[in-house]
Amino acid sequence: MSEKKGFAGKVAFVTGAANGIGRAAALAFAREGASVVVADVSEQDNRETVRLVEGLGGRALAVRCDVTRAEDVKAALAKTVEAFGRLDFAFNNAGIEPKNPAPTADYDEEEWNRIIDVDLRGVFLCMKYEIPLILKQGGGAIVNTSSGAGVIGIKNSPAYTAAKHGVIGLTRAAALDYAAQNIRVNAVCPGYIDTPMMGRFTGGTPEGRAKVIAEEPVGRMGTPEEIAAAVIFLCSDAAAFMVGHAMVIDGGQTIQ
Ligand SMILES: NC(=O)c1ccc[n+]([C@@H]2O[C@H](COP(=O)([O-])OP(=O)(O)OC[C@H]3O[C@@H](n4cnc5c(N)ncnc54)[C@H](O)[C@@H]3O)[C@@H](O)[C@H]2O)c1
């Protein structure tokens, strides 16, 4: 742990932390000195994230948590306080991608429900139970994961587009609700990031990857670490005046 320890003594709760962007963020919080709660439905991958955090000399706790289940979220946060005594930061990042692209009139209703449930309602449930804990020690910061699909429409993807736009609206509403109580709520909007989700999205083939990369002005996908860096910034005092912001980190994909 050679880097700065701006978050020493602080506690971060990260959902979707078993893989991809969430795992990179868990490691980034640990590098800053925070204790990390690794909350995800994937218990095996949770354990691997914890192992990686501990490899950095950090402290982490793995908690199985389905963000669509209020009982899971409450229990995971209770374990957070039991293990580390407080909650300062939350990165509400767990999400799923669409599986059956289709225009709106043909879109599968069950897939709609599932995506809205995980990608939007899951963020609401997490904030609902995180905020009272963060208020207990006088404030902190929350970052929610939206997407490029939160700021532009995506063809054949009505549910994901709506959920990710919804995350930005929810972020702004919650930001206003708690700004005066010293909780800052912001969002990140990643472009194409090289994670297991992206592997499923591209089919993991060179052609699939090339198609995605062709949409990126910078000529490459982003890394999970590039999103994690933004999350750390938004949680830090350097972002003390940033409230309800949706930070796009996408290599220029959505400005074309
Ligand atoms: N990878 C990208 O290009 C990209 C782009 C924009 C936005 N995002 C968003 O970033 C977030 C993370 O994506 P990623 O690429 O790291 O995905 P990933 O699939 O690699 O990791 C997501 C993690 O979320 C967990 N998860 C899924 N459903 C859950 C639930 N109900 N409760 C708890 N955990 C659950 C999974 O087990 C997994 O570990 C998602 O919200 C995604 O929509 C990703």
Instruction: With a cut of 90, say whether residue 1 has pLDDT above it.
Output: no
- Confidence class for position 238, pLDDT limits 50, 70, 90: very high
Residue at 146 is within a domain: yes
Residue at 206 is within a domain: no
Mean pLDDT, to the nearest integer, of 70-85?
98
What is the span of the domain harbouring residue 132?
11-193+223-249
Burial of 219 (0-12, 13-18, 19+ CB in 10 A): exposed
Using the mean position of ligand 1's atoms as its centre, give its distance from the Cα of residue 180 in Å.
31
Mutate to test the pocket of ligand 1, among 13, 40, 66, 119 (most ligand atoms within 8 A of CB): 40
Mean pLDDT, to the nearest integer, of 102-115?
98
Please count the structural domains in the chain: 1
Calpha distance 25→12 (Å, rounded): 10
Calpha distance 152→110 (Å, rounded): 23
Calpha distance 200→96 (Å, rounded): 11
Mean pLDDT, to the nearest integer, of 116-141?
98
The residue whose C-alpha atom lies closest to atom 24 belonging to ligand 1 is 16
Residue at 245 is within a domain: yes
Residue at 211 is within a domain: no
Residue at 210 is within a domain: no
Residue 2 is predicted with a pLDDT of 44
Residue at 51 is within a domain: yes
Q: CA Rg, the chain, in Å? A: 17
Question: Which residues have C-beta atoms less than 6 Å from ligand 1?
Answer: 15-16, 18-22, 40-42, 45, 65-68, 93-96, 118-119, 122, 145, 147, 190, 192-193, 195-198
What are the catalytic residues? 160
Residue at 39 is within a domain: yes
Pair 165, 171: CB distance under 8 Å: no
Residue at 93 is within a domain: yes
Instruction: With a cut of 60, say whether residue 113 has pLDDT above it.
Output: yes
DSSP 196-254: HHHHHHHTT-HHHHHHHHHT-TTSSPBPHHHHHHHHHHHHSGGGTT--S-EEEESTTGG
CATH code for the domain in which residue 185 is found: 3.40.50.720
DSSP 23-67: HHHHHHHHHTT-EEEEEES-HHHHHHHHHHHHHTT--EEEEE--T
